[in-house]
Chain A
Amino acid sequence: MTEVFFYIFAATVIAGGLGVVLLRNIVYSALTLIASLMGVAGIYILLSVEFLALVQVLIYGGAVMVLILFALMLTRTRELKDNLDGDQKPLAAVAALALLGSFIAAITQTTWPRDVNQITTVPFNDIGNALFERWAVPFEIASGVLLVALVGAIIIAMQEEGER
């Protein structure tokens, strides 16, 4: 049963990802990115990490996608038939396939150390405790990074005096 759901979610993730990099319309690419990210949330549920699935849906499905769609809207050029791919496309395909090939070769040749059929469920409580005890300092630093990045983004994107 888990396997069926795994393949459904994996197909969603990969199809969405292919849509992002192959489709000719940039808005369709953004919409398939949503499908791909929701598939990743499903994968997290299969891995029994519900917390990450919730975070994924809220942050990626909500915040990040709204940001990206707004950026698409604001950077739309007049010409509709804009070529989205560069001339280096075949080389990029070769590079990506070579990378994928070496990944698959490495994965299939590795002998896995532990019994790889058992997953251990991690309860919400444990994640919270770890995040606020052992990883409290990085957590606070991450919140500082977020604050600085968002203020910086506002300042960079702000309309300057006398512009346009």
Chain B
Amino acid sequence: MTAKRLSSGGRIDRAKIIKFTWDNHELNGHPGDTLASALMANNQKIIGRSFKYHRPRGITSSGVEESGAIVTVGAGARKEANVKATTQELYHGLTANGQNAWPNIRFDLGFTANYFSRFLGAGFYYKTFMGIPPFEWGRGTQIWMFYEKYIRKAAGMGTASRQPDPDNYEHSHGFCDVAIIGSGPSGLAAASRLSDTNEDVILIEQDFELGGDYLNHDDKSEVLVQILSKINKSNIRIMKRTTAFGAYDHGTLGLLERVGDHLENPLSCQPRHRFWTIRAKRIILATGALERHFAFANNDLPGIMAANSARTYLNRYGILPGSNIVISTNNDSAYIVSQELQKAGASVTLLDARANLPNHLTKKIAEEGIELISSAAVSEAVGSGRVSKIKFAKITDEKWTNQGEKKCDLLLLSGGWSPVINLLSHRGSKAKWDEKNCCFLPGHTEEPLELIGSARGIWRTDDCIQSGMNVRDTLKKTTCSPSGLNKIADNKGWENPILPLYEVSSASNKKAFVDLQHDVTTTDIRLAHQEGFVSVEHLKRYTTLGMATDQGKMGNVIGIALMAEALNTTVTNVGTTTFRPPYTPISLGALAGRNTNNHFRPLRRTPMDEWNLSHSAIMTHAGLWRRPWYFPINGEHISQSYIREARTTREKVGLCDVTSLGKIAIQGPDATEFLNRVYTNPFAKLPINKARYGIMLRDDGIVLDDGTTWRLSETDYFMTTTTANAARVMSWLEELLQVRWNTLKVHITSVTDQWAGCAIAGPASRKVMEKCVEDSDSVSDENLPFMGVKSTFLINNIPCRIARISFSGEMASEIYVPSDFGHALMNLLWDATKSLGGCLYGLEALGAMRIEKGHITGAELDGRVTLEDAALAKMGSTKRDFIGSALRKRPEMIKEGRPQLVGIFPENINETFNAGSIICNENDVNGHGEGWITAVTHSTVFNHWIGLGFISGGFKNWQNKVAIAADPIRNKETRVKIVSPFMHDPEGKLHYG
């Protein structure tokens, strides 16, 4: 191929020069070029190396179907592999390199693989590396595991950057009445038609310029200007550089907008890609069709290209891609290509596989001086590193016989056209093979989705325009029937019938490629058939046909046709694989959007977050919340810190931010009845200004959550839940009210964010409160007894709610203030606490103290635990029904020997054991054991390691027995004693004060 930029023509801006780098060489292009067109204009022939055999590859097309010019763009952290040069817009400073080659794509030592290619057919790896005697005798993958890394290094495509992606990505949502995908003749006609209506239309185009096939014409620019002028004046929203990669339920489309890939210096505040979710009332697919190649010997040599792509390079980019050109076709579309190339100065020979060509076709060709050979097609390409001549054959009695040779520097192929029906296929519509058009046409759909133009098998431009003009004004009658979809194709189709042409066989032993990207040959297809892979789905997986980045856009039809031939059946019977999203590759960054790093999950901060940080808190995550873990002093390690915090709290007083507890307002005349049904213990007689500990079960009798609920008035309650289960409880209560008990007059509202909470625990906690409330008498034991609730004011008139409840087992209260006063609350409490020698404590000390008390949390409530298992049997009312009351009595739930909550001590108090350990019989450390450990800590009360867990039969079965806490992952075993779960102050004297 001796390509050259013509002195005029094309849609590029010749007044401006773009400098870019290709394989370390600086080259020039123009605005309006793609990387492929710029490389072609610089007469670069080898652009890539093939996947398996490292064969040289050139530019094979001008669009997303590209199989040869696949390159690596950018460098460093922005290095991106497997970019199709045909879709990469050129910009100043662009750096591109060939890939899958060493030392470079022009001279690649990997090409030696080609000499062993007869051994590298389909299934080579399975046959060679798996189950090979005498190593594996029919099964096993050890040999494969050894060689895999070397094979992957030799084969494959480009390599990704290992550095963090420096670019931003974002998501966006869009809505419209009509989404038109594709801005070719039919898409623009539809947009123009709808611009006269009140429909809200989005026009989506993957290219950086609107026009589609218009851009390839030498005589349609005026039409394009006119129609674009009309559309630009309308309210139609135009999205260029945007690919509709997937179609989903209810008119939802996934789009990828390439915001910054064409910019030399994109703004740092702009995303590189934008991932759109578009919801359209109806979708019009004007996605066009892709021109196919066909299989023959050496059909992958650089200098072989789709015929109409040559027209694109000529008319859009002003490049004559060759001077001595052979075109091999089986349909009419190549004729205009031959004429335009001949007019542009090339010498063109046209091979048409069809026999009886009509005069109106042959006459025009003859007038241009083009040599036309009918009943002929190329049978072999010859050349070293690029095509230099071709052999052609003639067909007689369905057999190809070599007829001669032609010198050429460019071979163009047109083996028919495949409508782009991928998006329709995403919706489950099965494509139908059409014998007349030699392509898959859209199947039936009941969705508001229409196909127009060549996407439904309409080939002539004027007919495509007409199909666009025929789109409906409104949503009415948008359901497409099979007959409706195919009607125009049936009527018009090809003006002169196409001849099925998928392979030109010859005596040559050269490779004939079906899928260029994955190096799948005709031999591979036939081998798969010989080995019994008759299903198209199996064929795909065995040969990897259609599994490369082009997803079979070029090769699938050929592969299926060859399989049909091998099976002696029709293409219809073989069928096609299902197209799945994405239509073209999507960057992983776009899928993630802004939800990365710190924003991978939303961070929930308590109102005291800054306060905690400014008081040396080391934070940890509890669900989505960020909570203080511990408050080190003088460089303490966590173990030193939490032990000090727990000890100080037990001996004096400590403060802990407990804002993250779930808080739910339960209001309405039936609130009490509602709670009575939800909780296992009764709430009907709970007095106003009193709190009660409650347990909720699931329907199946398993414990869902626990917490305290405060009665604020006859009809107003304040429920607290565990941090972990807050959202689950809220959803559960809402479901009960909306679905089961919709006659109950109850409203629930999450007030977790309304209230900032702090626990004050320890013997001196009352003194702290006395210093902080307006009326110190209001928190006396008489006015605020254990489980009492008080709505009052702190100093400075800060409204608050106080409840005398304890999670630590010490005398304690929880104080809640409106969240914006969270800082003020902590300042107030901390001043008082400091003066009493108290401390701040975090989750670790909180956990230590609750383990000592045997209080359960999410660690214990793992979805398997009943009330009895959690040593809470007394909480289950026997006098009334509640959620879970029936199913908790199933035999399996109440049988003897279920694992029950216990405390765990090491036999040797100097030893420790791990959370997650299995508890086993002393003489049988095996399997799942007899129980498990849920939580461990150093106890400041006992001054040794303790734990909580579950063991078969509970404490009564294991009293005075030794068990083994086995941690096989960490290879640790500890002899332990099973004790009551209520290890500290079992009578609960301390929390009464």
A binds B: no
Which of B's residues lie within 8 Å of A, judged by CB? none
Which of A's residues lie within 8 Å of B, judged by CB? none
